[in-house]
């Protein structure tokens, strides 16, 4: 008996994965729960295990991009993969047609089922109660195949495809832009329609050896049908935001499908005018002709995505549900800059990582939190939760936007350990490989708007935390030192805090403590 091994659900926001490597080869005997392959999503890398003992028969290939639920491999009972398995469509596709009659004969499978089947919004996550029908991939009245993508749904965390649960004729009910609760009817599939297998297909279409240009779909591994040049849901969203036509993007996914990586690397290229076959006569402009772009006052209207709406709701909730205030101070950065300049080479030689400003700020914050624990606390219901540890969230700019990975137990780490942790987390953020646990559970946040040129700001709280420190750019300004006016590299600091739990005395004293530690870095080592 054969058991199909499919891509498991790996997260609410993950719709596809890449088969990065096979740990076992086709025909190998595997034990139950033994690792057989390594899958990679846009956020994490994880292992695929065998669900029973037997002989492995691989279906997908290394480098394939697979949708959640796609077949990766089969496990056969006993024997060898070659003897236990029947010939797969891929083998037939690559084999030459045995006779001219077989080459011309269509491959047909009897149509399945009859009657009407309701297609409802599936459950896509515990915290998701509604989705938006962003677009119909198939139109009303179209014949659809089983498991074929018919619509694209968008939640506040991810975009995913809705597939047909049987073959038939599509009857749409919901409209594009409708907000639908989980379980709502999106459409129905009437009668028995043609599936991908029941459509007459000649070996010219199935054969991988046929290099004639075709605009139709190709059959990928595991029976998943992808159209060449069609972007994945995540890639389509990125291309739309960039204003890039998918036709001009070279897809590197399965059967030429455009992956998220292709979309991130795509550049918007202005359309070039077509070269005419013959040089036309140049007509003199008339008095009524006006430049199309002169004094243009066009407006572009876009509907907010579910993600943007959710972010907006959370930010407004923080403003409405907390008594948020911001206190300011400034810090003389010259001592830290002199210290970095003196020891940065030796520091990198010994620890293998550069010495940046963020480690000093993180260390100063963790020391100040020991003196003012309310700044590190949070409110849950009618209780105040005090943490005797400091998990510091660091705001990092990533391709998808700003993310806040967490440095665990930062209070017990050295400057070198903090720098190494920042490098690892920042690298994962840039490669979109941060996991949900790596971005949740912080007790305090540091954000550095200075890298973008911000002189001063009032950062908003990262709920449920009660405080956030904002760093800004370093500007040389005249300041008074010991009765003398000198030029010093100065930075404004901003501490936003929840006044329900943190009083003014605590917030100001905390920020002054951070200032003292930064202006005299030796105190960080001595703990005074």
- State how far the Cα of 403 lies from the Cα of 41, in Å rounded to an integer: 17
Among candidates 132, 152, 130, 150, which has minimal Cα distance to 141? Answer: 150
Among candidates 23, 92, 18, which has minimal Cα distance to 60? Answer: 18
Burial 409-429 (b: 16+ CB within 10 A, else e): ebbebebbbbbbbbeebbebb
Q: Which residues contact 117 (CB under 8 A, 6 or more apart)?
A: 165, 166, 168, 188, 189
Distances from the Cα of 145 to the Cα of 149, 199, 222, 223, angstroms: 9, 9, 15, 12
- State how far the Cα of 38 lies from the Cα of 45, in Å rounded to an integer: 7
Grouping H, G, I as helix, E, B as strand and the rest as coil, residue 148 is coil
Do the bridges between strand 16-22 and strand 396-398 make them parallel or antiparallel, or are there none, so unpaired? unpaired
Among candidates 436, 433, 439, which has minimal Cα distance to 40? Answer: 433
Among candidates 43, 52, 45, which has minimal Cα distance to 19? Answer: 45
Please work out, in degrees rounded to the nearest 5, the angle formed at the alpha carbon of residue 26 by the alpha carbons of 21 and 31. Answer: 85
The 3 state secondary structure assigned to 344-374 is HHHHHHHHCCCCCHHHHHHHHHHHHHHHCHH
Report residue 406 CA to chain centroid gap. Answer: 17
Maximal C-alpha separation, the chain? 101
- State how far the Cα of 49 lies from the Cα of 55, in Å rounded to an integer: 13
Among candidates 453, 446, 447, which has minimal Cα distance to 475? Answer: 453
- State how far the Cα of 50 lies from the Cα of 80, in Å rounded to an integer: 16
- State how far the Cα of 321 lies from the Cα of 226, in Å rounded to an integer: 46
Which active-site residues does the annotation give?
A: 499, 503
Q: What is the DSSP annotation of 72-86? A: EEEEESSS-HHHHSP
């Amino acid at each position: 008996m054969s058991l199909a091994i499919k891509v498991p659900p790996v997260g609410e926001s993950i719709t596809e994965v890449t088969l990065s490597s096979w740990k076992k080869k086709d025909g190998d005997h595997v034990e139950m729960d033994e690792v057989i392959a390594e899958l990679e999503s846009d956020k994490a890398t994880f292992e695929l295990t065998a669900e029973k003992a037997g002989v492995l028969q691989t279906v997908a290939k290394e480098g394939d991009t697979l949708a959640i639920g796609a077949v990766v491999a089969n496990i056969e009972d006993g024997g060898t993969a070659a003897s236990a398995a029947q010939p797969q469509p891929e083998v037939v596709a690559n084999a030459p047609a045995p006779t001219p009659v077989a080459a011309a004969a269509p491959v047909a499978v009897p149509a399945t089922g009859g009657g009407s089947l309701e297609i409802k919004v599936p459950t896509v996550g515990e915290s998701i109660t509604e989705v938006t029908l962003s677009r119909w991939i198939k139109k009303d009245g179209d014949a659809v195949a089983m498991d074929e993508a018919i619509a694209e749904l968008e939640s506040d965390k991810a975009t995913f495809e809705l597939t047909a649960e049987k073959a038939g004729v599509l009857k749409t009910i919901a409209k594009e832009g409708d907000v639908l609760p989980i379980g709502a009817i999106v459409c129905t599939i009437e009668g028995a329609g043609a599936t991908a297998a029941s459509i007459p297909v000649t070996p010219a279409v199935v054969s991988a050896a046929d290099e004639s240009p075709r605009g139709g779909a190709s059959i990928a591994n595991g029976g998943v049908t992808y159209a060449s040049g069609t972007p994945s849901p995540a890639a389509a969203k990125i291309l739309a935001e960039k204003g890039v036509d998918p036709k001009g993007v070279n897809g590197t996914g399965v059967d030429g499908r455009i992956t998220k990586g292709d979309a991130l690397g795509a550049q918007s290229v202005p359309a070039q005018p077509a070269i005419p076959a013959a040089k036309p006569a140049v007509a003199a402009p008339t008095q009524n002709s006006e430049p199309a772009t002169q004094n243009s006052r066009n407006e572009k209207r876009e509907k907010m995505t579910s993600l943007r709406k959710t972010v907006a709701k959370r930010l407004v909730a923080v403003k409405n549900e907390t008594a948020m205030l911001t206190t300011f101070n400034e810090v003389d950065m010259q001592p830290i800059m002199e210290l970095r300049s003196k020891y940065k080479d030796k520091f990198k030689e010994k620890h293998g990582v550069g010495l940046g400003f963020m480690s000093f700020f993180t260390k100063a914050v963790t020391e100040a939190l020991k003196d003012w624990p309310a700044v590190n606390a949070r409110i849950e219901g009618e209780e105040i939760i005090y943490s005797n540890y400091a998990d510091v969230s660091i705001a990092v700019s990533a391709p998808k936007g700003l993310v806040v990975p967490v440095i665990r137990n930062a209070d017990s780490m050295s400057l070198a350990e903090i720098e190494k942790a920042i490098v690892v987390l920042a690298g994962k953020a840039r490669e979109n490989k941060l996991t949900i646990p790596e971005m949740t559970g912080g007790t305090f946040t540091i954000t550095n708007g200075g890298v973008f040129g911000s002189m001063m700001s009032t950062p908003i709280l990262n709920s449920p935390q009660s405080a956030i420190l904002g760093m800004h750019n370093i500007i040389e300004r005249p300041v008074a030192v010991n009765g003398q006016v000198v030029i010093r590299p100065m930075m404004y600091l901003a501490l936003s805090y929840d006044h329900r739990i943190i009083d003014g005395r605590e917030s100001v004293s905390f920020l002054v403590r951070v200032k003292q530690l930064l202006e005299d870095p030796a105190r960080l080592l001595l703990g005074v």
